[in-house]
């Protein structure tokens, strides 16, 4: 089946189900940015929300599109069902009560059916994402914390764990780069190419790959620190966030004392 055929099959199978008020496409299909690799995100409005009966009805509907090989029924989020069929079509469903739709906007949804006219009562456009100062500070402090663990990984010769540390630093850098773009439609984690500009892509591609060996682990940690911390400090100033300067300073002092390495960027007062 094509994705269009899957969408129509599921819409037909659920349109007259008891207690179901509406079914919308969301995500990239809802905002018109889907491509051949997109998953299919749905939002269902049900009178009683995410009940077992609604989940069973949804499973029967998805089963009409192919053999279900992965089924996560409200496993990670109480209102979310994830499925993958044998051709690797991914469908995600969020099940909401009518009064829970207030957080959504028309420009993020495409109605498949809407028995109660819910769509017409939603705002036309979603508000742009607002940066959270507390969340940003957490990411900075977490970056510094993981960086500081380098002395432990090297001291214990835990170079495999050192590789994992580099990946943590890499994820924090990617999050920072995306935040700098203020992209209105961020999509899922597999949409990085459309989110960051060429300058940021070049930066990411220039950074060393982590290798489970002492010198390589140190080199990678220092490279990510040099890429992340000065940019993060500038963004902190833009957001009015107090920089954790003492934590940063004692972390570099510990790394210098334990490993003899210096901060790989100019000090910012």
Tell me the pLDDT band of 104, cut-offs 50, 70 and 90: very high
pLDDT at 186 over 80: no
Taking only the tens place, the pLDDT of each residue in 133-146 is 999 999 999 999 99
- Beta carbons of 13 and 64 less than 8 angstroms apart: yes
Q: What is each CA distance from 123 to 24, 27, 47, 208, 262, in whole angstroms?
A: 15, 17, 21, 45, 52
In this model, does residue 187 exceed pLDDT 70?
A: no
Distance CA 90, CA 113 (A): 21
Window from 77-81, 88-92, 159-163, 181-185 with minimum mean pLDDT: 181-185
Give the length of the chain: 269
Contact 201, 259 (CB under 8 A): no
CA atoms within 13 A on the CB side of 61: 26
pLDDT tens-digit series, residues 30-52: 888 888 888 999 999 999 999 99
- Give Cβ neighbours of residue 27 (< 8 Å, ≥ 6 apart): 34, 38, 39, 40, 41, 92, 187, 188
Asked if the domains 3-121 and 133-259 are classified in one and the same CATH topology, the answer is no
Domain ranges for the chain, please list them.
Answer: 3-121, 133-259
Q: What percent of the chain has pLDDT over 70?
A: 93
Taking the C-alpha atoms of residue 24 and residue 87, their distance in angstroms, rounded to an integer, is 23
Q: Are 153 and 217 in contact (CB under 8 A)?
A: yes
Check residue 192 and give its pLDDT: 66
* pLDDT above 60 (res 110): yes
Q: What is the dihedral of CA 97, 103, 108, 114, to 10 degrees?
A: 30
pLDDT at 185: 57
Read off the DSSP letter of residue 57.
H
DSSP-derived 3-state class of residue 191:
coil
CATH of domain 3-121: 3.30.460.10
CATH 1.20.120 for domain 133-259: yes
């Amino acid at each position: 089946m094509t994705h269009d055929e899957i969408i129509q099959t599921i819409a037909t199978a659920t349109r007259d189900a008891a207690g179901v008020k509406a079914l919308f496409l969301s995500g990239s299909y809802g905002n018109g940015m889907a491509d051949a690799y997109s998953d299919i995100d749905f939002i269902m409005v049900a009178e009683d929300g995410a009940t077992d009966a609604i989940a069973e009805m949804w499973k029967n509907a998805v089963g009409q599109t192919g053999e279900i090989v992965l089924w996560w029924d409200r496993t990670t989020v109480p209102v979310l069902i994830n499925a993958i069929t044998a051709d690797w079509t991914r469908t995600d469903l969020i099940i909401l009560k009518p009064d829970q739709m207030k957080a959504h906007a028309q420009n993020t949804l495409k109605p498949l059916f809407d028995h109660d006219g819910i769509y017409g009562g939603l705002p036309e456009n979603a508000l742009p994402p607002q940066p959270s100062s507390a969340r940003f500070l957490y990411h900075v402090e977490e970056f510094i914390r993981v960086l500081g663990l380098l002395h432990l990984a090297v001291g214990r010769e835990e170079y495999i764990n050192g590789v994992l540390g580099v990946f943590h630093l890499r994820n924090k850098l990617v999050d920072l780069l995306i935040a700098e773009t203020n992209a209105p439609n961020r999509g899922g984690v597999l949409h990085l190419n459309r989110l960051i500009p060429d300058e940021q892509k070049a930066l990411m591609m220039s950074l060393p790959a982590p290798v489970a060996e002492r010198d390589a682990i140190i080199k990678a940690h220092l490279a990510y620190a040099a890429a992340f911390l000065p940019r993060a400090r500038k963004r902190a100033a833009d957001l009015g966030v107090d920089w954790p300067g003492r934590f940063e300073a004692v972390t570099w002092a510990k790394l210098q004392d334990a490993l003899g390495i210096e901060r790989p960027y100019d000090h910012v007062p």
